[in-house]
Structure 1
Amino acid sequence: MLKKILVSAIVTTLIVGCQSTGPSNQTNKVTVKNKASNASIAKSAYDFADDDITVPAYFDTQGLERCTFDIQKESDGCPLKKPIVRIYFDNNDVAGQGKGVEHLKEVNNLKLVQMLENQLAGLSRFRIITRDDQVIGQEQETYLAEQGASAYAKRAASQRILAPDFVVKIDTTKTVDTFYAQSSGVMDYTLEMTAAVIDPFTKEKMSHPNIGKIRVKSADVVKSKDELNVVIVSGRYYSGFNFADPQVVQAMMSDMASRGFDIFLTRMLSEMPATAQVLGIKGDRLSLDRGQNAGVLVDETMIVFQYEAGFVEPIGVATVTPSKQSASGKIVKWKNSKLADSIKKQAGSGIFRPGNGVKIFAVSVGTPANFLENRT
């Protein structure tokens, strides 16, 4: 089922850098409908105004000088370090009035965990520790049987299990209400997911990343409301949406969870942006030292900025396409500043390469517009 991309209002704030004459706006806006949560996607670089060319909120420029650019040895103080995450689904509350409430209790939350793990791992912006212990156990038994105890011991000694930087705990509330008169009615399902980020060692509930509450309604994931119509005769299901079939209910909740995870991903991508160092600029083209391996997505909108002695100054906004370990892009709009003009002039007559302790980076502003439709 194709997902409808709805866009929520996010107004990003300036953190460090050039002063702006107006508010920046790096995402599009629509009215929130049906009290449901909406996904947030980045504006196209072609739609940016000069005031929008600012380093996005949630990106920490402090510590860039500590980065080693080695995924296995990256310093904890480097903002480019991929966080290691484990996901838990905890409370599974069920509420509502009318038919179908009892069948919601049969929805398997572990399946929801594995769905979200797969989506996050596919981004390559986080390192995900799976909770699929059954598959891991089966594979280790198979490896031991096929390769022998010596090979198994050597492999186990050379690799250690990842320790999470933080865990994401998600509480779910599943609700169904049946609205009907006489024998016909409409099923109305709601799925609420509330996420908390916890440091597993200090036991602190962290304020960042702030995922918050996500609310999805059944009407948001079906093709038409008619598909939720039901006919009840003598208090029992007769035709229409079969609320009494556990597989039908599981499929509905899986579709709702999938949409909720899309919203979850857009919030994570906004609060934990992808970053790469700019190696050079030629004309309006730029090359980056990281690509898919650092979570840069196809058609990523990225702010290009200069970093020197703790100061950040935006240069322009670019659209970027990654390869496996690098990326290339095009600066669509240059910032109206002396620095941007100087770099643009130098890049126009050759390849501009940062030097003398000055570094240039590119940082994403959110989820690309076509990502949810094509990749989730």
Structure 2
Amino acid sequence: MQLKQFKQISVSALAVLVLSACQSTPAEQTSKTNVTNRSSQAQVARSAYDFKDSDIKIPAYFDTQGLDRCTFDPSNENDGCPLKKPVVRMYFGGTDVGGEGQGVQALREYDDNQLLMMLENQFSGINRFRIITQDDDLIAAEKETYLEQQGARDLAQRASAERVLKPDYVVKIDTLRTVKNEGSITGWMDYTLELTSAVLNPFTRELMSYPNLGKVRVTSGDVRERNELKFIMANNRYVSGFRYFDSAHVNAVINDMASRGIDILLTRMLSEMPATAQVMGIKGNQVSLDRGQNAGVLPGETMIIFQYEAGFVEPIGVAHVNPSRNSAIGEITQWKNSDVAEQVENVAKNGIYRPANGVKIFAVSVGTPANFLENRT
């Protein structure tokens, strides 16, 4: 296979290929989406209906170790269970602004706090992590209102009963914003936004290698037609077109670029920290899961169904899953060509297959559902 072809393979599929080098056909569990930019691309899960038998494998980044420690109670999960939702605090770290020509000053006036609030909202909305907000002004205002309406005693009791969450790790985002413009009389503004992430253990001070979100680069051309950023000058003075000197107009472009960049970071996090649930039963091709939105299972999720026994993993099939609040229902679109899968399928054809005798069956997602970015972010 040529190097160019390898570059087209998604991160998840490449990891599976390395782990399964003895097989001639690699698993393809993710595919490229139209939500892309010139330097960084959002990767989404391949539809369960497009899977081949060779694709039905445990995705990269999912660790089955520790499943025996799970209580399967989403509100009271063991720390050693891989199904537990991590508690995360997010920060924006250093901010650099650079460029040449017109518009640098307006770019400097952008408030990075907008990025932080956007980041928190996007990540908390998927319910796969517990996000500790940095919106101190809002929290302080709400406590003041609560004090006025409920009294000091009630406020003290509430604060004592509901402790502030303790983060498992922190995610720090550094930003670099640059601008350049071309042309003397008629010009175009070109903006670039780079988001570089780091994950830290706040107590050991360790820079963690997992999850690895990397760097995201977004350009203004990814969110705007070039003519929208066109301006006209005369005698070195602005005449008409894009108001590159007006921070409100510049902020609107940077916000769209930031939203695109955060979407891409989100897809990376969803791939490295997949949603998981226990299978309660299988009837025909219908599979019932014990967790839903409460565990971050997303609408249209592509999930690998696998059997877990004595530390061994056996893929059974791939399913298209939709959640309710506390559970989920899926359709197995293709069964794995294996003896174990055939045994389960035969029982499910004639009734309900329920795992027994120490055997457990789980479902694990393979990445961001294909339509999630368009519909929910």
TM-score normalized by the length of structure 1: 0.94
Aligned to 1:234: 235
Shift of 1:59: 0.5
Aligned to 2:153: 150
Aligned to 2:60: 57
Query: 69-78 or 265-274: which moved more?
Result: 69-78
Shift of 1:240: 1.1
Q: Map Cα deviations across residues 286-340 of structure 1 (whole Å, 9 max, x no partner).
A: 1000000000000100000000111111000000000000000000000010100
Higher helix share: 2
Aligned to 1:203: 205
Q: Map Cα deviations across residues 38-84 of structure 1 (whole Å, 9 max, x no partner).
A: 11111001111111100000001000111112334311110001010
Q: Map Cα deviations across residues 167-208 of structure 1 (whole Å, 9 max, x no partner).
A: 00000000001011x310111000000000000000000000
For 2:227, give the aligned amino acid: D
For 2:111, give the aligned amino acid: N
Structure 2 distance, partners of 1:283, 1:168, is 43
2:74–2:295 Cα contact (<8 Å) kept: no
The two structures, once aligned, show a CA RMSD in angstroms of 1.9
Shift of 1:232: 1.8
Are positions 1:94 and 2:97 aligned together? yes
Q: Structure 2: any 5+ residue segments left out of the alignment?
A: 1-7
| Correspondence 1:50-129 to 2 at 5 A | 50-129=53-132
Structure 2 distance, partners of 1:364, 1:336, is 20
Aligned to 1:187: 189
For 1:358, give the aligned amino acid: V
Change (3 A) 1:34 1:340: closer
For 2:214, give the aligned amino acid: G
Structure 1 distance, partners of 2:22, 2:281, is 26
Structure 2 distance, partners of 1:257, 1:282, is 44
Structure 2 distance, partners of 1:156, 1:85, is 20
Aligned to 1:176: 179
Aligned to 1:302: 303
Shift of 1:12: 4.2
Aligned to 1:166: 169
Q: Structure 1: any 5+ residue segments left out of the alignment?
A: 1-6
Shift of 1:25: 1.0
Shift of 1:146: 0.3
1:12–1:26 Cα contact (<8 Å) kept: no
Structure 2 distance, partners of 1:302, 1:184, is 52
Structure 2 distance, partners of 1:321, 1:299, is 5
TM-score normalized by the length of structure 2: 0.94
Structure 1 distance, partners of 2:48, 2:94, is 41
Query: 95-104 or 360-369: which moved more?
Result: 95-104
Aligned to 1:213: 215
Aligned to 2:15: 13
Change (3 A) 1:269 1:13: same
State the SS of the aligned residue for 1:156. Answer: helix
Give the paired residue count.
368
Shift of 1:30: 7.7
Structure 1 distance, partners of 2:34, 2:317, is 29
State the SS of the aligned residue for 1:175. Answer: strand
State the SS of the aligned residue for 1:40. Answer: strand
State the SS of the aligned residue for 2:182. Answer: strand
For 1:309, give the aligned amino acid: A
Aligned to 1:135: 138
For 1:349, give the aligned amino acid: N
State the percentage of identical aligned residues.
Answer: 60
Structure 2 distance, partners of 1:206, 1:54, is 26
State the SS of the aligned residue for 2:41. Answer: coil
Structure 1 distance, partners of 2:115, 2:146, is 28
Structure 2 distance, partners of 1:169, 1:49, is 38
For 1:329, give the aligned amino acid: G
